Amino acid sequence: MREEAQQQDQLAMATAEEQLQQLRSKAAELLLREEWQESVQAYSHFITLCQSHISNFPQNPNPDPDHLPKLRKSLCLALSNRAEARSRLRDFAEALRDCDRALEIERAHFKTLVCKGKILLNLNRYSMALDYFRTAQLDPQANGSSVDLDGYLQKSKKLELMSRTGAFDLSEWVVNGFRGKPLEPAEYIGAVQIKKSEIRGRGLFVTKNIDAGTLVLVTKAVATERGIFPGQNLDENTQLVMWKNFTEKVMDSMAKCSRIRDLISTLSSGEDENELEVPEINRFMPEAEHNGGYHNENEHDASRMLSILDVNSLVEDAISSKVLGKNNDYYGVGLWVLASFINHSCVPNARRMHVGDYVMVHASRDVKAGEEITFAYFDVLSPLEKRNESSKTWGFRCNCKRCKFEEKLYSREDLREIEMGLERGMDAGAAVYKLEEGMRRWMVKEREKGYLRASFWEACSQAYYSEKSAKGWGRRIPPMETVVDSVVEAVGSDERVLKMVAEKLKGRGGGMVEMERAMKLGRGVYGKVVKKQAMKTLLGLGIL
């Protein structure tokens, strides 16, 4: 009887071992075929069965001393492989948990160390990723492995440095005519903090003086939805489909990661903005969170989340986001959480540039410590009435100092005459002359002159683009450089202003002063991530 029982036990163990082997082979095959969801399911079944065998091992009357270590080794590898599949599905929270469970079994498991490093790199936690890759490098398997461990190490080092210093450089990409992929950015937060804003709700403020082109922040999108639409023929149905796809991507990211839910919950839904919490800037730093710290079971009201997306999503074809003139037929929408705290002003001091899934925000003019960082949500090189119409579509009325000043001045008959004259085809030079004469009579201050010149920029640009017009009016209108400098000081650099300066520079040449003016304007438009030689390339290519 005893021998018969032993034989039955051995048969049961053999059957169980065969079942485990079949499951393991099936899961591995699905992983190799990149069928990630099916692979996760197969590995989950294997892991459950393997854990059951490990739990029941002490009850085995004739245990094989080598069997338990083999089971634990198999479990460790299965957890590592499931982590890999889950990371491909962008379920990073669960993937990290699998890695941690595998490392509890085998502290220096090579494949798991590499997998966890890659996940942390995807989460922009560069220094932590670097630690795991360095630990994996100590393993003897590192030399014979097919994993490009040195590549991951170098990438982590580079991104960690960029994240710490903001030392980005897109120059090589620009000089090469935008061929290939640009430098992959790292998330970066400069000298900024979130505070209560006099404009609306909360805003982003600089904590020290910065000059034009200085990088303020770089942040990765929670989700994006993009398409190419020749002639910007984006009908309502297409917009609705894109918006539906976008919101589903955001909701999916929130379901998988409580950190994303937490950060999105800091945003305004457009109501009770003055009552909202002012979060610490450290909350948005990717390295600030702990391993696997993704547990937040609070469900957010779906309608509120849709309101948050409606208020805070950025459109990539906005005037402030054109990427080096390359996206004329390109339309995209995305959510970049920290950038969403930046309010609109008709005297903006910052611009944004989209590179892949990242948005890079830089100063478009010199900014003083304590000043709020602001974007142009719409075209600010336009008259007050047009700006008021644009602001209505955003659900607010701009109350910045420029709008207040122009509101008071708008009742003047002679200012309205200039607008009406331009509508009837008045010569641009004559309009500029009348504007300058009017400002002299109204005793307008220098900064306020920049406001009005920006409002009549279309007339100014026509007057100075034409050599005949500019010479014809001679000293009766100010030099182009005076107008450019005052407009930029008021509303920051703009590609249209830069285009005019660059064309003039190429047409008649210029000295160091003229070149430096063009360089500073370029830094305001594209940021210091484009260095001097690359900026000269941009000016010479005529793509501005």
In this structure, are 352 and 456 located in the same domain?
Answer: no
How confident is the model at residue 210, as a pLDDT?
97
Q: How confident is the model at residue 294 (pLDDT cuts 50, 70, 90)?
A: very low
Question: Among the residues of 370-494, which ranges form H helices?
Answer: 384-393, 401-409, 413-423, 428-441, 446-455, 457-465, 467-473, 480-491
Percent of the chain clearing pLDDT 90 (strictly above) = 57
Number of H helices and E strands in the chain, helices first, is 23, 11
In terms of domains, do 85 and 132 share one?
yes
pLDDT at 293: 40
pLDDT tier at 156, thresholds 50, 70, 90: very high
pLDDT at 7 over 70: no
192 and 61, same structural domain?
Answer: no
Distance CA(208)–CA(449), nearest Å, equals: 27
Q: Provide the pLDDT for residue 89.
A: 94
99 & 224 share domain: no
Helix (H) or strand (E) holding 315: strand 314-315
Q: Write out the residue range of the structural domain in which residue 60 sits.
A: 2-165
Q: Given this model, what pLDDT does residue 16 score?
A: 62
Last-in-domain residue among 460, 476, 493: 493
Lowest mean pLDDT among 52-66, 126-140, 145-159, 405-419: 52-66
Query: What pLDDT, on a 0 to 100 scale, did the predictor assign at position 356?
Result: 83
Q: How confident is the model at residue 444 (pLDDT cuts 50, 70, 90)?
A: very high
pLDDT of residue 3: 55
Write down the pLDDT at residue 175: 83
The answer to whether residue 93 is domain-embedded is: yes
Least confident of 297-301, 363-367, 508-512, 526-530: 297-301
- Where does the pLDDT of residue 182 fall: very low under 50, low under 70, confident under 90, or very high at 90 and above? confident
Q: Mean pLDDT over all residues of the chain?
A: 86
Positive or negative, the CA dihedral 541, 485, 212, 198 is negative
In this prediction, residues 108-113 reach a mean pLDDT of 95
Judgement on whether residues 141 and 206 belong to the same structural domain of the protein: no
Q: What is the CATH number of the domain that holds 243?
A: 2.170.270.10
Average pLDDT estimate for 207-211: 97
Specify whether 266 is located in the same domain as 129: no
Average pLDDT over residues 408-418: 83
Of 13-22, 59-68, 202-211, 527-536, the least confident: 59-68
Same domain assignment for residues 7 and 116: yes
Say whether both 184 and 120 belong to one domain.
no
508 belongs to a structural domain: no
Domain boundary among 139, 165, 191: 165
- Burial class of residue 204, CB neighbours in 10 A (0-12, 13-18, 19+): buried
Residue in this structure with the two tokens 């491909």, named with its chain if needed: 88
Same-domain pairing of 215 and 149: no
Does residue 115 form part of some domain?
yes
Last residue of a domain, one of 375, 405, 434: 375
pTM of the model: 0.87
- Count of domains observed in the chain: 3
Confidence check: pLDDT of 4 > 70: no
pLDDT of residue 14: 54
Residue 435: is its pLDDT beyond 80?
yes
Report the candidate in 55, 89, 70, 88 with the shortest Cα–Cα distance to residue 20: 70
In a domain, 542, yes or no: no
Kindly report the CATH number assigned to the domain that includes residue 65.
1.25.40.10
20 close to 49: Cβ distance less than 8 angstroms? yes
* Average pLDDT rounded to a whole number, residues 279-296: 69
State the pLDDT confidence band at 256, using cuts at 50, 70 and 90.
Answer: confident
85, 36 contact by CB (below 8 A)? yes
One domain, residues 369 and 456: no
pLDDT, mean of residues 373-384: 94
Q: Which residue has the higher pLDDT, 493 or 325?
A: 493
**Residue 223 belongs to some domain of the structure:** yes
Average pLDDT over residues 320-337: 67
Residue 425: inside a domain, yes or no? yes
Whether 193 and 278 map to the same domain: the answer is yes
Does residue 439 register a pLDDT over 90?
yes
What pLDDT, on the 0 to 100 scale, is given for residue 320?
Answer: 43
| Residue 351 counted as domain residue | yes
In percent, the amount of the chain with pLDDT more than 70 equals 88
Q: Please tell me whether residues 324 and 429 are part of one structural domain.
A: no
In a domain, 534, yes or no: no
- Structural tokens at position 128: 């932590």
DSSP 455-470: HTHHHHHHHHH-HHHH
